[in-house]
Amino acid sequence: MWLKGAVDKVIEANLTFMQQGFVYGLLFFCSTAMLLSCSPSQEKLYKETRSSMYTIVSITVSSDSEEKAAIDKAFAELERLAKLLNFYSEDSEISAINRYAGNKPVRVSPETTEIIEKALYVSENTEGAFDVTVGPLVRLWNFQKKIIPDRAIVKEKLKLVGYKNIVIDKEASTVFLKTKGMQIDLGGIIKGYAADKAVEILKQQGIMAGIVAVAGDIKTFGIKPDGSLWNVGIQNPRQQTDKDEILATVGLSDMAISTSGDYQKFFIKDGRRYHHLLNPKTGYPDSECRSVTVIAKDAAFTDAFATGIFVLGAQKGMDVLNRLNLDGVIIDKDGKIHVTEGLKDKIKWSNGVLE
């Protein structure tokens, strides 16, 4: 962490969010908690960082009082969602849906229906490059032990992947997987969705400004006490040192940002990089991109679209961003940077120029 300035000035903190020991693509900069602001309102920033959603979560709020109760309620909401939507917990609604795949529909909560509907929207708009039915493929990979699954097994499991085989009955509040053995894994959207819901709770508690970062999926609302935007940094996917290198920063308010990259969770074997962003159509990771950053109103969408666009590649990915009027940065396999038009005048590059 680095500090700049002194009391009565905003002190910026560089936080690197990590999950399972791997660095995530977004670095969030905000004033540290309980330091006096030069704002006439005397509002301060209060920050709480905890382990939640099976990762590191940081919640920062702008207020004239500590607002611990509001932050606690936001964390409680994250824990509630984790119990509902966890792929690896036998007690979650997602596990129940998976358990009864090909057998019968499962009655679920509104949140489970909502997040799956959002996932299906992203699937439809990324040619299936984002697909939450990759569960059977995900279970084949072990990145800690550097295990590459056998191609014959992968080919067999691919038969179980297909988002179009998810059936949602909103009237009955049920979700059904048509084929036995299918498995939904919300890992590519759950952190962003959780950030959205945590912000909703904070707003309900009267918080007018803040930022929620669930690992590298970040949702901002309002502005900082000094009247400035929340600054978020995009990490260099090929940093040259052990320290986190910031490629660029962007100021945000009432927007979300997510990055998916091949450097977050990976191993290298026989000269090839194997990362966790699997192509649902092959069962293996693609190498068309190094990282993808997406900016939009909803963190659920930035989370999922960052993953889907990473799989699509730079050309098709830029087409998706432009068609849906989303902002983003794509760093392709050769290190070339692609930026949407709407972001070019807002993003600040660490070297001052766009290479």
| 281 pLDDT above the threshold of 80 | yes
Between 161 and 145, whose confidence is greater? 161
Per-residue pLDDT band for 224 (boundaries 50, 70, 90) equals very high
Domains of the chain by range and CATH?
Answer: 85-136+150-177 (1.10.3980.10)
Q: Quote the tokens at residue 49.
A: 């960082």
Q: Write b or e for each residue in 319-329: b if 16 or more Cβ atoms lie within 10 A of its Cβ, otherwise e.
A: ebbeeeebbbb
Nearest of 261, 351, 345 to residue 310 by alpha carbon? 261
pLDDT single digits (tens) 18-62? 333 333 445 554 433 333 334 445 789 999 999 999 899 999 999
pLDDT value at position 355? 43
Cα dist. 74→11, 15, 108, 203, 308 in Å? Answer: 24, 20, 22, 10, 28
Residues 62-70: what's their mean pLDDT? 90
Residues 302-307: what's their mean pLDDT? 98
Alpha-carbon distance 166 to 178, whole Å?
Answer: 7
| 7 pLDDT above the threshold of 60 | no
pLDDT value at position 239? 77
pLDDT value at position 318? 98
pLDDT value at position 26? 52
Q: DSSP letters along 144-206, please? A: TTTBPPPHHHHHHHGGG--GGGEEEETTTTEEEESSTT-----TTTHHHHHHHHHHHHHHHTT
pLDDT single digits (tens) 74-105? 999 999 999 999 999 999 999 999 999 999 99
